[in-house]
Structure 1
Amino acid sequence: MNFIPQFTQRSAGTEAVVSLPHGGRRPGRELLVRALIGLAILLVITLLVWFDRDAYSDSGGDGLTFVDALYYATVTASTTGYGDITPVTPGARLINALVITPMRIAFLVLLVGTTLEVLSNEVRRVLIDRRWRKRMRNHVVIVGYGVKGRSAVNTLHQQGHDLNRMVVIDNRPASVDEANLTGVAAIHGDATRREVLRRAEISKAREVIVTLDRDDSAILVTLTVRQLNPSAHIVVGGREGENVSLLRQSGADAVVTSSDAVGRLLGLSAVSPNIGAAIEDILSSGVGLEVAERQVTANEVGNSPADIRGERVVAVVRNKTMRRFYDQSVDTLQTGDNVVVIRKSEARAEKERSERD
């Protein structure tokens, strides 16, 4: 995984910029550390002058106070040097030459370096955003990074999708940070806004997964996505079954209702624990069974779906139309067909191979 510094604007009035996976200290923490170092330098100079205050001359003639020592430290570190407080003994001048002067230089380097870095980071942030947007093609956009969004990303990754070809949109900064830690680029913003969707290069996306907590927001996002990208495959996670038709009318190609799905699984588990266990096994990644779609091989062309060994065909996709395995029109597999199968999970198969070896 390539780690790239994070340069993101998150205020309401700024433009949404992609936030890429990052490593090391955050910019805010880095600035805090540098500020503390600068304060430490001023404090050390102040204490050096305060403890040796009798070796300094004050133009006021009333002796040095702690405030005077702090004042001398600030004007010295900033190279202002008004000359109203000066070291008069050889020892004090030697300390200024050998200790305070290097600290003054370090303070200036810290100040100038921080300023230059802030400016360069701002330029680099824009360049990183432009470069990322330029290379994003046929990618997957996940709107919402809650429980469903995280599960979708994990499933896509386990199915072989590159994390670098995914981008998350979420209006919660914590979710953006979590997506970055997973290795996924993210944009902080409201997905119902066209500008935020455009920042995710939605018009060039191949897949769009909408996993929001409110069906009305999901409908609005789906409508906007469909307008910006008529060819994208849009999958929406709805909450209520009564909103499925609205989600489909708004442009969703597939709608999964979480409440109905969970309720049905609970009901089946109550009627027959074995049915519930089997469905949960299929839905759980890397346990025993998994559902997959693949293209028919040359050796399988002309055979019946029931003749395929090692897998159980549940549907055949022909001309972009899914037909169940009992449909007589797919009794014979053809070139270009895809099959939806239930098979042993890759993780399980790999474990068995390792045990045999």
Structure 2
Amino acid sequence: MIHLPRVRQGPLRALGVRLALAVALVVSTVVVIYAGRSGYRDVNEDGLTLLDCFYYAVVSLSTTGYGDITPVTPHARLVNILVITPARVLFLIILVGTTLEVLTDQYRNSLRVSRWRRKLKDHIVICGYGTKGRAAVAALLETGYDKSRIVVVENRPDGVRQAAANGLATIEGNATRSAVLLEADVKNCKAVIIATDSDEASVLITLTVRQLTAGQVRIIAAVREQENSALLKQSGAHHVIVSSATAGRLLGLTTTAPPLIDVVEDLLTPGQGMALAMRSAERAEVGRNPRELRTLVVALIRRGKVLPLGGEQALSIDTGDMLVYIRDDEASVDVAV
């Protein structure tokens, strides 16, 4: 099931709107009846008062019809045919508005899903909306990624509700199933981020994504244990983040060199201080040593391989290289890492 973000109307407001429509319809009917009251006859034959008009409007619109007030002239009967009867139908529609609203919402949701599928392109699929999944989405949004191009796959009801409440398109289901991933249009996505709480599920999702996409979609997975990293890479993951090992290294840094952890956190936290970023090499930079540039370049990415700039080896920038550099987070960037 696909859940698209939407602004929900409160129940009190919805009830108030329906009540206002019903009252407006009754008042409009009373005005019409009162204007042509000479064409009606009641059992007392003393003419219709304003109260009688209200009474006749209510019993007519509610299809009660006691028959104590009846139209007798051709004009009054014509008004009943052209005005009162359509108003009665409209009044019944308002009374059964809850059922009608459900059907309308289903039809509207089908149209929204169809439009969403047509516009969906180069999106990122997030499998799992737990702690890691929410952090991954937050990092994407903080670096300027469009929220409409993020699709969450989650099978926990609370995770589905939270993702939808945060304005994300959500597929409710198990990401290990091919049908669920196809609902997320995994074949045409830009990347798949696997952020489940189970290493076994991460391996199975990786295998399923690789089978569906023939290895054409980049897969980034997170695992708890280091020993499962090699298994995920063999299954088809391009990048594997070991959460326990990474946390352990950061803990060690905090113990032996406390200031380093502050630098690492600053680099990994968009929106403040320094940040890692990546951009394409400009034509004027080709052939130059990266250390000669105004920006602090820490690595080159050439044909998918990372070339560090440390050591005595002198590297020059080639056409097509990507530069990984440290920037001031207030400056504009092409792609944030």
TM-score range, shorter chain: 0.7 to 0.9
Larger mean Cα displacement after TM superposition, 183-192 or 123-132: 123-132
Q: Name the structure 2 match of 1:146.
A: 130
1:1-357 equivalent positions in 2, closer than 5 A? 16-17=1-2, 19-25=3-9, 29=11, 33=15, 96-101=55-60, 105=88, 108-229=92-213, 230-311=215-296, 313-326=297-310, 331-346=315-330, 349=331
Give 1:243 deviation, angstroms: 0.9
Distance 1:119 1:318, change over 3 A: same
d(CA) in 1 for partners of 2:128, 2:247:
20
Distance 1:88 1:149, change over 3 A: farther
* Number of residue equivalences: 281
Alignment partner of 2:284: what SS? coil
Give 1:195 deviation, angstroms: 0.7
Give 1:225 deviation, angstroms: 0.7
Distance 1:195 1:286, change over 3 A: same
Q: Alpha-carbon deviations, 1:198-239, whole Å to 9, x = none?
A: 000000011110100111011111110111112111111111
CA contact (8 A) 1:143 1:209 kept: yes
d(CA) in 2 for partners of 1:31, 1:159:
37
Alignment partner of 1:161: what SS? coil
CA contact (8 A) 1:211 1:237 kept: yes
CA contact (8 A) 1:316 1:330 kept: no
Alignment partner of 1:317: what SS? strand
Alignment partner of 2:285: what SS? coil
Q: Alpha-carbon deviations, 1:6-62, whole Å to 9, x = none?
A: xxxxxxxxxx22x21201327xx589959x97xx99xxxxxxxxxxxxxxxxxxxxx
CA contact (8 A) 2:143 2:270 kept: no
d(CA) in 1 for partners of 2:53, 2:14:
32
Give 1:334 deviation, angstroms: 0.8
Larger mean Cα displacement after TM superposition, 202-211 or 91-100: 91-100
Distance 1:318 1:101, change over 3 A: same
* Aligned AA (1:308): L
- Give the gaps of 5 or more residues in structure 1: 1-15, 42-86, 351-357
Larger mean Cα displacement after TM superposition, 264-273 or 329-338: 329-338
TM-score (norm 2): 0.74
CA contact (8 A) 1:315 1:339 kept: yes
Distance 1:100 1:320, change over 3 A: same
d(CA) in 2 for partners of 1:329, 1:123:
63
d(CA) in 2 for partners of 1:242, 1:30:
55
Distance 1:31 1:146, change over 3 A: same
Distance 1:107 1:327, change over 3 A: farther
* Aligned AA (1:177): R
Distance 1:112 1:138, change over 3 A: same
d(CA) in 1 for partners of 2:121, 2:257:
45
Distance 1:95 1:153, change over 3 A: same
CA contact (8 A) 1:316 1:337 kept: yes
Give 1:137 deviation, angstroms: 2.0
Give 1:157 deviation, angstroms: 2.0
d(CA) in 2 for partners of 1:298, 1:250:
38
Give 1:107 deviation, angstroms: 5.4
d(CA) in 2 for partners of 1:270, 1:139:
40
Give 1:176 deviation, angstroms: 2.4
Give 1:116 deviation, angstroms: 3.5
CA contact (8 A) 1:290 1:343 kept: yes
Q: Name the structure 1 match of 2:30.
A: none
Distance 1:23 1:184, change over 3 A: same
Alignment partner of 1:339: what SS? strand
CA contact (8 A) 1:133 1:199 kept: no
d(CA) in 1 for partners of 2:210, 2:104:
38
TM-score (norm 1): 0.70
- Give the gaps of 5 or more residues in structure 2: 24-41, 64-87, 333-337
Give 1:263 deviation, angstroms: 1.6
* Aligned AA (2:129): Y
Alignment partner of 2:134: what SS? helix
Give 1:344 deviation, angstroms: 1.8
Q: Alpha-carbon deviations, 1:274-311, whole Å to 9, x = none?
A: 11111111112222111111111122111112112232
